[in-house]
Structure 1
Amino acid sequence: MLLSPGSSRRQERRREQIRVSQRNFRERQRNRIAALESQVNRLEAMIRAVEHLNDTKDSPTYGRALRSITRLVEGLEPSSMPSVVHPRYESMRSKVQQLKQPAPSTGQRFIGTSIHAALIDRFVDYMSPFRSVPQAKHHWVNDNQPRRAWRTGAGLMGSDFVHNAYLAAATRFTGQELDDPRLTHAADGLYSSVLGQLQKAIMDPITSKSDEVLVVTITCLLYEGRLRRTTPNAEAHVRGSLALFAHRGPVTCVAGVAHDVYVEGRMFWVWFSVMRRCSTILSEQAWKHIPWSLDVARKDMMDHLLDNIVDISTLLALIDESCAGNSNRGNSVLSARILTTLRDISQNLRAWKHSWMGPKHGNVSEKPVPAGFAPVFEYVNSNTGNLVRPTIFMFNDAVAFQASCHYYAALLIVSMVQRKLFVKDIAKRSGDLDFAILRLRNLSPEAIIEPGVLNGGPSHGCPMGTNGLRSRTTIPERLIKPWKLPPRKSYIFTHANVIDASTGKILPDTTVKISNGTIEAVCSADELPAVGDNETVMTINASGKYLSPGLIDAHVHLTAVPGSASLDGSMGDDATISHLRQPFVAGQSLRRGFTTLRDCGGATLALKEAIADSVFPGPRLFIANRALSQTGGHGDRRGTHDHTQPCCGGERAGLSMVCDGVPDCIRAAREQLRTGADFIKIMVGGGVASPTDKLSNTQFTSAEIQAIVEVAESYGTYVTAHAYTPRAIRHAISNGVRGIEHGNFVDEDTARLMKERGAWLTPTLVTYAAMADNKYAGFLPPGNAAKNVEVLEKGLESLRTATRAGVKICYGSDLLGPLTSEQLGEFKIRRRALSDAEILKAATVNPAEMIGQKDFLGQIREGYAADLLVMGANPLDDVSVFDQPEKNLLAVIKDGRVYDSRWSRLPVDVKDEVNFIE
């Protein structure tokens, strides 16, 4: 029987639909198995970490970690697991049950004893030998045992061993013996050959040789390669440990290497470069020209720190050169280079600490020192004569603790160099070296003992009798920065409906505790210990209320401030006018519930730092500085009859800058990153607001885009692109761009390409709706208004197309000038295309992942930033409730502080209490 052509085509379309459906099903299965394996890998790593704490089961840290693991393991569905994962699940369940067994009673112990006992046990355990690492290159990748050995050795780097190493040294310098023969024996065995040099370097830094400033670093940070196997050829062992990085050359050696090996080995690389003064292929130059990791989109705190530490090798090489030329002590050029390098390294190290470490970043909390905890670190304030006990800093983040170890090791070297250079001024600089040593030898995962300078105290210094140097006083931070906010309170919300934005579900009757800027617990009421009568802890009954993660707007322009009725006026304000109005725009966004903003062109590092330092309230910022545009592109604001050069337009608070050609694009990208950009924004297609291009235009050449992407990846970040049409989107994605802004004309094929490449889409539909609204008539010139109608019609369909393809979507507003008041309108518009849960996820979980903060922002989970909204209505029922904050938004909490509140139970706490006068 012959079929008609129409019937044949229908059957063929049906078969094609079945094939596509089967292919999509297999893809979903693969993704599900991969996600499940990733979750199991994470849980196994968490269990291994908790097993190391097995001797401190009575500690709160152990209890919280075990509760989190138990909840995650029980949340898995064993019945739907593939056979390859199920045995690992059963093994995890068995280990969790073992870990939940109560620890044997050892009598009452105070915190100091338990911490010291745990660390000493681990220190002795690390003394045991392990299988030597084979030297053949292919064994590095294929043999699990060497990798395990590498991980074990690298795990010592900046871990509990550093604390014990310095504690052991302290027992020798101060005569304070701990009542544990194992620690004494370990100190005698490990440090007999270096303690004399170390003590000489501390007691007599002026006459000690330049190499002796590295004794501490060599001893502790290169322990695995130099001392563990106790062989005379220590340097050979260091080079052996680093052979993995050398086998492919200095530039490409990390490509193809497992990410976990890179992360664990990077400290060896940098400290070896410092020790060798760049004399090997593992040099400062090599370090700065390789990818930061296989996942080049994220550069963590350790990468930023090591980028500064590696510069110490240049400083020491200059000092060696100066020492070698004793007959030419008057070499002013060399002296100037040394002083400049020293100043830059010192400033960069302290800037790193300001940017990454401390209670305000959520990785450190303060605790009072128990009586008798560590008397050797008590000291006398030389001004008041009072005995000062240092503060204990509790590190809940292993990476933060590890970074602290390396920070203070670098500070020790820099301080030693300062003392060598400023002999006559040593009495005036008595705090730097002993300050660094005091911190170095007291770092531990559970307790960091520091003098009170970080706590706003009056002074810091070394314990009296340790090295004979007096302590120094510092100006209290509240006098230096009078805008600093009062100490945070802790809040406990009980009986709350917690919104899980990742799953789109409600966790009813849940207790949430926030403290020191982070979420400390998300649990049932009976799991949280009683707080008693603590004035710094406020308990709020949130029955009937909803706790939502703080919102993230992933596309804003804070520079385009209100104050003008037209687009040209909003984009052409004088820089001073714009800068003075930007705090108002930022504050309004925070009051609407946006605790994080991603500025895609215009905002500066000064604004970001001012908000972070609490000069004025605003969301946390991730900025691109100025977006990059070609001549005549979307970022070129000159009209067709404007023949001025783009560099000569005066001081305007522009959103973009013009660059053409590969060299100019490289320079422009580097300039944005130098001045604080978190990512790079480029214009790859025409736009609504630009005066001379068409929407169909494709901008920048492939070579230009690839050059910009290469610069961004070398800094550990990513490039996002303004693009509307499929052609422009493909042009960007094919050349390494990882984000698309707008994307209103995206088609099915282009959306699939975005999914394959892992690209993000940030639609901004509310800006087109606002520009078409009659109340903003005249905002757009006629030519721009015609383009706006075109993109407005396609916006919702692009959302549906991208969602069907599985592209991850973020929330963006892209509002300029007076339109910024419509920032929340995007929620209502997106309801015509997406579900409420999908829209909320796009405003929380997805943008947090895009900006590299998926483990800190966008969700209400333990360890995440305390960015919360208290809602009177459930956004999972109707996400447009966000669009009426005056009715539904009860309070805005950012970094654990209540910045705005309409709720009588929760007062604002970002101002000092006022004493009213009759």
Structure 2
Amino acid sequence: MGEGTTALAGARIIDGTGRDPVDGLVVVVKDGLIQEVTRRPPREAVVVDLDGRTLIPGLIDAHVHLGLSSDMQGLVTGQVSAAEIAASIFRCAEQALMEGFTTVRDAGGIDAGVVRVITSGLMPGPRLLVSGPILSQTGGGGHYAPGWEPVCVWESRDLPGLLGMSLLADGADRVRGAAREAFRRGADFLKLMVTGAVLAHEDELEHTQFTVEEIAAAVQEARARGTYVTVHAHNNAGIRNALAAGATCVEHGSRLDEGTAAAMAEHGARLVPTLAVVHQLIDSAQDVGLPHTVGVRAASVLDGMRDAIKIARSAGVLVGSGSDLIGPDQSRRARELLYRSELLGPMAALVAATRDNAEILGLADRVGTIEAGKIADLVVLDRDPLDDPRAFADDVAMVVQSGRTVLARV
């Protein structure tokens, strides 16, 4: 698909809205947009017969770390060269696109230079929204350095234009400065670490990080730019601190309870759980470049994260979908949809990874559903994922991004 009018015909269409699948319709694409969804292709259209396959919107991953696609231990200790880091980032970005993820939100790591390379077409990859470097307190969840290393060494590992893992800040004024620096580097939104993390060396998941005043300084800077703050948070105290400060999105939320979920709903905050990375670390933290103990920590949050999805939905919280995969092997990103399908069924998993994620990313008027006027981000699957959700990860036959075919196996 390229210039001119193309009609995708013969597929079962699951449009991402949650409505039942429809057979017999034709999706007409022109100038990178969905022109119409109709019964008959226009006379001038080039017809692509999808022959009984399934057509879904381009998938969206609301929590990725393309910049953390190297061996993690080597990365945080400075043992991976800039060339290797760059190669891994662009390989990972292309892989995400070829697996049907036409848009992703990078929640910490890559710099605006990566965005420019992909947006310009120099290298293939999904549409990107990025937080730039994570904001973390000293010794917090985003400060991955070994305990013996002086704080001043940490940010010297940044690779301008490519990778900056985190900015360390203590006190509201320093958080404000770090927020401004993240935006100067091209951040679309901010991410703060407000509780302990599975990957952290010294803190515990029960710990809270950053005060309400500190978080509020970042929120104020984000609002001044018409955007938002999302927070890494496992425990309820950290989530409530973030809500009090005005944050509007929560990543992980593995210890979410009913009261805190109700508070999230009241504040209009969203939740992005991340089941795939938990399974990844449980299966083999060593493959990521992390010690076995990290897998043990990951196992401690799995059941809670599953429960959090149900608790949040029951409270009326919009629940998105993020894989959070790290390390060299970030393949089969759609495993997140498989794990969500086990909880809520494949239709709910698809809607979370399309329409709902588009809403969380602020792109609901542009992507996320198959509707006239939306950008033509489309994925063709060989099998119906409602019958077997493994099709999300294993049966991608065609990927269309902005009306251009980037993968075709049909």
TM-score (norm 1): 0.43
State the secondary structure of the residue aligned to 1:817: coil
- 8 Å Cα contact 1:766-1:822 kept in structure 2: no
Please name the residue that 1:516 is paired with. Answer: 31
Residue 376 (structure 2) pairs with residue 843 (structure 1): no
Please name the residue that 1:891 is paired with. Answer: 398
The structure with the largest alpha-carbon Rg is 1
Please name the residue that 2:49 is paired with. Answer: 541
Q: How far apart are 1:896 and its partner, in Å?
A: 0.6
Please name the residue that 1:13 is paired with. Answer: none
Q: Which has the higher helix share?
A: 1
Q: Distance in 2 between matches of 1:625 and 1:855?
A: 24
Flag structure 2 segments of 5+ consecutive residues without an equivalent. none
Residue 99 (structure 2) pairs with residue 592 (structure 1): yes
Please name the residue that 1:682 is paired with. Answer: 192
Please name the residue that 1:569 is paired with. Answer: 74
Could you tell me which of 113, 116, 119 is aligned with 1:612? 119
CA 498–864 in structure 1, closer or farther in 2 if over 3 Å, else same: same
Q: How far apart are 1:847 and its partner, in Å?
A: 1.0
Residue 115 (structure 2) pairs with residue 602 (structure 1): no
CA 655–891 in structure 1, closer or farther in 2 if over 3 Å, else same: same
Amino acid at match of 1:542: L
The residue correspondences of 1:858-869 to structure 2 (distance < 5 A) are 858-869=368-379
- 8 Å Cα contact 2:250-2:272 kept in structure 1: yes
State the secondary structure of the residue aligned to 1:690: coil
- 8 Å Cα contact 2:145-2:154 kept in structure 1: no
Q: Distance in 1 between matches of 2:377 and 2:288?
A: 38
Q: Distance in 2 between matches of 1:883 and 1:798?
A: 24
Amino acid at match of 2:28: K
Provide the aligned C-alpha RMSD in A.
Answer: 1.9
Amino acid at match of 1:666: R
Please name the residue that 1:501 is paired with. Answer: 16
- 8 Å Cα contact 1:765-1:792 kept in structure 2: yes
Please name the residue that 1:758 is paired with. Answer: 268
Q: How far apart are 1:672 and its partner, in Å?
A: 1.4
Please name the residue that 1:704 is paired with. Answer: 214
The residue correspondences of 1:446-485 to structure 2 (distance < 5 A) are none
Identity of aligned residues (%): 36
Q: Distance in 2 between matches of 1:838 and 1:711?
A: 34
Higher relative contact order (CA 8 A, sep 6+): 2
Amino acid at match of 1:664: R
Please name the residue that 1:637 is paired with. Answer: 144
Please name the residue that 1:583 is paired with. Answer: 90
- After TM superposition, the runs of 4+ consecutive aligned structure 1 residues lying more than 6 A away are none
State the secondary structure of the residue aligned to 1:869: strand
CA 795–538 in structure 1, closer or farther in 2 if over 3 Å, else same: same
Could you tell me which of 477, 484, 488 is aligned with 2:3? 488
Q: Distance in 1 between matches of 2:122 and 2:287?
A: 36
Residue 172 (structure 2) pairs with residue 665 (structure 1): no
State the secondary structure of the residue aligned to 2:330: helix
The residue correspondences of 1:129-278 to structure 2 (distance < 5 A) are none
Q: Distance in 2 between matches of 1:778 and 1:491?
A: 42
CA 648–654 in structure 1, closer or farther in 2 if over 3 Å, else same: closer
- 8 Å Cα contact 1:828-1:880 kept in structure 2: yes
Q: Distance in 2 between matches of 1:699 and 1:556?
A: 22
Residue 113 (structure 2) pairs with residue 621 (structure 1): no
CA 775–756 in structure 1, closer or farther in 2 if over 3 Å, else same: closer
TM-score (norm 2): 0.94
Length, aligned pairs only? 405
State the secondary structure of the residue aligned to 1:509: coil
- 8 Å Cα contact 2:62-2:320 kept in structure 1: yes
Kindly provide the CA deviation profile for residues 613-669 of structure 1, in whole angstroms up to 9, marking residues without a partner as x: 111111000011111001111011222222241555334534211111111111111
Q: Distance in 2 between matches of 1:882 and 1:549?
A: 12
Please name the residue that 1:129 is paired with. Answer: none
Flag structure 1 segments of 5+ consecutive residues without an equivalent. 1-485, 532-536, 904-918
- 8 Å Cα contact 1:570-1:817 kept in structure 2: no
Please name the residue that 1:431 is paired with. Answer: none
